Structure 1
Amino acid sequence: MSCLFEHSSITAALALAVSDLYKYHCRPRIRPDLTQRTAMQPTHILLALLTVTIWGLNFVVIKIGLAGLPPLLFSALRFVFAALPLVFFIKRPAIHWRYLIGFGLFQFALQFSLLFSGMQLGIGAGLASLVIQLQAFFTIGLAVLLLGERPLVTQLLGALVALAGIVLVAAHLEAKATVIGFLLVIGAGLSWASANIVTKKIGKVNPLALMAWGSLIASPPLLLASAVFEGPAAWHNAFTHFGWISVAAVFYQSYPNTIVGYGIWTILMRKYPAATVAPFSLLVPLVGMLSAAIVLNESLEWWKIVAGLLVLGGLALNLFGGRLMLALKARA
């Protein structure tokens, strides 16, 4: 019954996300309002929550998929099937090649080669879903340095509150992680943050085309890295034992996680300041831990609940603190 509920929930979520992407792609090409608002529309908040749910479930999928596939090959297959056959039906986004290459390398190739390798080297699904969320803070820092964005005081305070929750989880889980794996996942977070900055520089673009062509850019270096570092023997073993679980893992990686999730994320990163959007990713560890508890029978200790409350509190302060301050000033 839980599997049926999970399947129906994901199906409904994907239908909503695909509908949003379709409407975005087919609407008249009116220049978007690039005013840097900090208050998100309710529909966009729901889409951000859908995205982090897809991404949170993804860490369980990765852990299951790595049981049958080496990390670099797994990542390469993900982007091969995310690109094909879409690139034959969708025109290349009308952006400079350097931005497209930068997006494909930072958002996809580098981030996920580091993440998958880190998880293969001992980082658990829960800890990986946590550590990579350092990208939110990397993004805010890079946006200040490179884009001149000025986060609100309440956004910075919210980030500190959420960071306290992340530190609490890290303090209880760090013994399970290898140092190299831990550093690789941190590197994945920095790569994701770099991709967020590239996304802001790209500006107006069809997100579905960006996902498909970015995946195409990511595929060759990942296949080459897998051939060099994992070798033909690992490929032979993987394809010899390539069963339905591996098929399902690659499918989830390619379509819900890559095309839908990153398509929505790209829209939001273009429309709002990085300091407003990036902290949503702090919810990913909560979804990851909860799904790991349900699917993988991992325990859900008290400190995970406390950490979750801190993360949610920090996100609420980040999203609504500015409006609260304006309301208080209006009454004064």
Structure 2
Amino acid sequence: MTTLSADATSTRRDAIDAFATIVMLGLTLTWGVNQVAIKLANIGFNPMLSMFLRSAVATLLVFLWCRYRGIRLFERDGTLWPGILAGLLFGLEFILVFFGLDYTSAARGALMLNTMPFWVLVGGHFFLGEKMSALRFGGLLLAFAGVVLVFSDNLSLPGPDALFGDVLCLVAGIAWAATIVVIKQSSLSNAGAEKTLLYQLSVSALLAIPFIPFGGPLLREVSTLATGALVFQAVFVVSFTYLVWFWLMRRYPASGLSSFTFLTPVFGVLSGGLLLGEPLTLKILLALCLIVLGLTVVNRPRRRVIPG
């Protein structure tokens, strides 16, 4: 057991308090803005170069954090091959996201990517024996109705190839869900969160390298803003917020934390409109409402049956 885990056990909370609420609002805001950061970084750099640098820097930072905390990473625990598979899926997710956001808007990309919980629901039903209730199936239908609305909205299309970018981000959501299913179903479920994250970051950094030639010139219109967006992703989003998320998961009920996930697409859509001036059409806002409602239904805690 790591030092961090030991601390977590001794300070375990039974409910979400004000501190956790404030932190989760900050995390979901950061994750929502991440699509905007990717688009801004893509303005200055080859998308695959951005992805490689982001993952490589984050790998180094998380590794140094583990060394500082005394977290063991190189024990033989049967996680190597599942870890590589999870890393490949994680890398595929971000290859699709980085390329996808070259074509579509941050708002549309955020909606497509954040269908992930619904794909986890489907994967859990077929591969993990987690039967889907009628209520959660209804939430799934609401989300897909939102996806259909996005695809039907021509007013918010940033260019002729935007639908292609939408599809890439949608498939990225499926890859994200597949990563979670692999982690749940394999020995990674018993591994430390930091070790699992390092598998994902290190493998995805290597996976990005052969795709760099397909992203065009290494440098596009390099600026302070594009460079700052790349540093923001590597240092803050991928390294800091993920570690904070794991810290929260050790201390608070997972069901309570997951209830905040609906905010990520909300912040993603709003940040695209406010920071990039993307059109927030009626269909996009309706799609957002449907996906958020679907997320709320899917993440609704199941009622406990009290014996006797």
Q: 1:187 aligns with which of 165, 171, 187?
A: 171
Secondary structure of the residue aligned to 1:42 is: coil
Matched, 1:164 2:138: no
Q: Deviations over 1:137-164 (max 9, x none)?
A: 2211111121111233322222323333
Matched, 1:306 2:280: no
Task: Tell me the equivalent position of 2:134.
Answer: 153
Letter in 2 for 1:79: S
Task: Tell me the equivalent position of 1:55.
Answer: 31
Secondary structure of the residue aligned to 2:239 is: helix
Flag the 1:97–1:322 CA change in 2: closer, same or farther, 3 A: closer
Distance 2:203 2:61 in 1: 14
Distance 1:78 1:246 in 2: 13
Distance 1:288 1:208 in 2: 26
Letter in 1 for 2:152: A
Flag the 1:186–1:300 CA change in 2: closer, same or farther, 3 A: closer
Distance 1:295 1:165 in 2: 23
Which structure 1 segments of 5+ residues have no match?
A: 1-22, 34-39, 328-332
- After superposing the two structures, state which structure 1 stretch, 92-101 or 245-254, moved more: 92-101
After superposition, residues 112-261 of structure 1 pair within 5 angstroms as 112-120=94-102, 122-173=103-154, 176=159, 177-200=161-184, 201=186, 202-226=188-212, 228-230=213-215, 234-235=217-218, 237-238=219-220, 242-261=222-241
Distance 2:111 2:3 in 1: 31
- Larger helix proportion of the pair: 1
Letter in 2 for 1:137: F
How well do the aligned residues superpose, as a CA RMSD in angstroms?
Answer: 3.6
Distance 1:171 1:47 in 2: 35
Secondary structure of the residue aligned to 2:32 is: helix
Matched, 1:25 2:12: no
Flag the 1:293–1:141 CA change in 2: closer, same or farther, 3 A: same
Flag the 1:24–1:246 CA change in 2: closer, same or farther, 3 A: farther
Task: Tell me the equivalent position of 1:11.
Answer: none
Letter in 1 for 2:175: S
Flag the 1:24–1:117 CA change in 2: closer, same or farther, 3 A: farther
- After superposing the two structures, state which structure 1 stretch, 169-178 or 194-203, moved more: 169-178
Deviation at 1:169, TM superposition (A): 3.1
Asked whether the 8 Å contact 1:48–1:264 carries over to 2, the reply is: no
Matched, 1:77 2:77: no
Flag the 1:316–1:281 CA change in 2: closer, same or farther, 3 A: closer
When normalised by structure 2's length, the TM-score is 0.77
Deviation at 1:54, TM superposition (A): 1.8
Asked whether the 8 Å contact 2:30–2:237 carries over to 1, the reply is: yes
Flag the 1:224–1:320 CA change in 2: closer, same or farther, 3 A: closer
Distance 1:167 1:266 in 2: 33
Deviation at 1:117, TM superposition (A): 0.9
Flag the 1:247–1:219 CA change in 2: closer, same or farther, 3 A: same
Distance 2:126 2:109 in 1: 27
Distance 1:269 1:250 in 2: 27
Secondary structure of the residue aligned to 2:114 is: helix
Secondary structure of the residue aligned to 1:203 is: helix
Number of aligned residues: 286
When normalised by structure 1's length, the TM-score is 0.72
Q: Deviations over 1:272-327 (max 9, x none)?
A: 58xx95x865543321121122212234334444333333333333334744x989
Distance 1:320 1:24 in 2: 33
Asked whether the 8 Å contact 1:196–1:269 carries over to 2, the reply is: no
Secondary structure of the residue aligned to 2:101 is: helix
Flag the 1:263–1:296 CA change in 2: closer, same or farther, 3 A: same
